[in-house]
Amino acid sequence: MYKEGKAEIKFHKNSFINPVGQASRDISVALARAMCKGCTVLDATTATGIRGIRYSKEGGLKGITMLEINRNAYRDAARNIKASRIKAKVLNESFQEFANTTRDRFGLVDIDPFGSAAPYLFDAMKIIKDTSLLFVTATDTAVLCGAHKDACLRVYDAVPMHNEFCHEAGMRILIGYIARTAAQFNYGIEVMLSVYYAHYMRTFIKLRHGAENAASSLREMGYAYYCVRCGYRTYSKGQIPTADACSNCGAKMAQAGKMWLGNLHEGKAIDKTIEQLEAINASNEAKNIMNRIKEELDIPFYYSVPELTKRLKTSSVKMSDLEGCIGKRYRVSKTHFDYMSIKTDAPYDTVLSCVKGKRRD
């Protein structure tokens, strides 16, 4: 028996369940509970059924449909749903088959595959409606973070960043791909929350129908630039790359994108999720992640403090001292992407000066 929240999973011999993913499921249930009143739900990759069961028992959501393509895992899910005594249906179908045959439209579509979510997104747009929520997980972080550049080009039509802030760049590539796919169906996106946790990425999005909404989202697309020589980074919105030489040292800049350069979080969604985490008695890990996101500056991109001290060939820096130095004139925060990194709107030379001045001798 595996217990999580109000779910008890008896059957998981032939299906996959990851206990480490509890924090992600806690956040998903809390956000759905806060933002999806009366929604019908599609759990597109259900495995044991635990996510859909929790949406029913803790999220209070009705009209839940679960899909599982693997025959043996489907049997586990069906048994777990029956044992949980919830009103839900589970189908032994692929997502693509279901999306192309159903007439239903869902208020929440949850896609949590092993690997890339990209193959699901085009079909997902066929079963959503205005204001639907789309929760998307990507576990192919090696691709999104630049270890496999050609694969990222092939799957996401984007050049990745393989450096110290690659996790945020990867998240923005994922969201950018969702925005471009949604735009083909005249949907714009509103990003409510984005979480990097346990080596996977998960983003929570609201879809808004209309040509102008789609066009507005596409205007948030652009490119990131990184100087391998000095560590300077910048970005620009637009369909055509604009940076070539580093404005800090003159070296040629590495380029990544297209990617989403708009917000990664929305304040109301964060507050409501934190509130609902308390209501469902969520894990401390989920609460810690959300509290860190609440304090995080929502701007591109973060600076790795160990990477800065390495580049400057100086001793280590206390995070509190560095934040204090930068915070005298600029905004600064920690980031949930990397607990040894900061985000700030300070100029790069100010960041470097503070690292030098606050080093541990």
Rounded to the nearest angstrom, the gap between the alpha carbon of residue 299 and the centroid of all alpha carbons in its chain is 15
Co-location of 338 and 223 in the same domain: no
Which token pair is 219? 């205007």
In the chain, the number of structural domains is 2
Co-location of 226 and 338 in the same domain: no
Co-location of 55 and 179 in the same domain: yes
Co-location of 199 and 267 in the same domain: yes
Please name which of 131, 147, 144 lies closest in space to residue 175, comparing C-alpha atoms: 144
Question: In the listed set 295, 314, 349, which residue is the last one of a domain according to the structure?
Answer: 295
Give the β-pairing of 133-138 and 200-209.
Answer: antiparallel
Domain with residue 327: its CATH number is: 3.30.56.70
Q: Report if pTM > 0.75.
A: yes
Domain with residue 106: its CATH number is: 3.40.50.150
Co-location of 287 and 349 in the same domain: no
Co-location of 319 and 222 in the same domain: no
Question: In the listed set 241, 276, 295, which residue is the last one of a domain according to the structure?
Answer: 295
Whole domain around residue 314: which residue ranges?
A: 303-357
Rounded to the nearest angstrom, the gap between the alpha carbon of residue 341 and the centroid of all alpha carbons in its chain is 18
pLDDT tens profile 163-221: 999 999 999 999 999 999 999 999 999 999 999 998 899 999 999 999 999 999 999 99
Co-location of 330 and 271 in the same domain: no
Co-location of 290 and 309 in the same domain: no
pLDDT tens profile 32-83: 999 998 899 999 999 999 999 999 999 999 899 999 999 999 999 999 999 9
Co-location of 250 and 322 in the same domain: no
Co-location of 111 and 192 in the same domain: yes
Which token pair is 294? 């609440």
Co-location of 18 and 133 in the same domain: yes
CA-CA distance, 38 to 289, in Å (whole number)? 27
Which token pair is 288? 């810690």
Cβ count near 219 (within 10 Å)? 13
What size, in residues, is the chain? 361
pLDDT at 281: 92
Question: Phi/psi class of residue 250: alpha, beta or left (left: φ > 0; alpha: ψ in -120 to 50)?
Answer: left
What are the φ and ψ backbone dihedral angles of 320, each rounded to 5 degrees?
Answer: -65, -40
Q: What's the whole-number average pLDDT of the chain?
A: 95
CA-CA distance, 340 to 167, in Å (whole number)? 13
| pLDDT of 361 higher than 50 | no
CB within 8 Å of 171: residues ≥ 6 apart: 144, 194, 196, 201, 203, 264, 337
Co-location of 102 and 154 in the same domain: yes
Question: In the listed set 272, 295, 318, which residue is the last one of a domain according to the structure?
Answer: 295
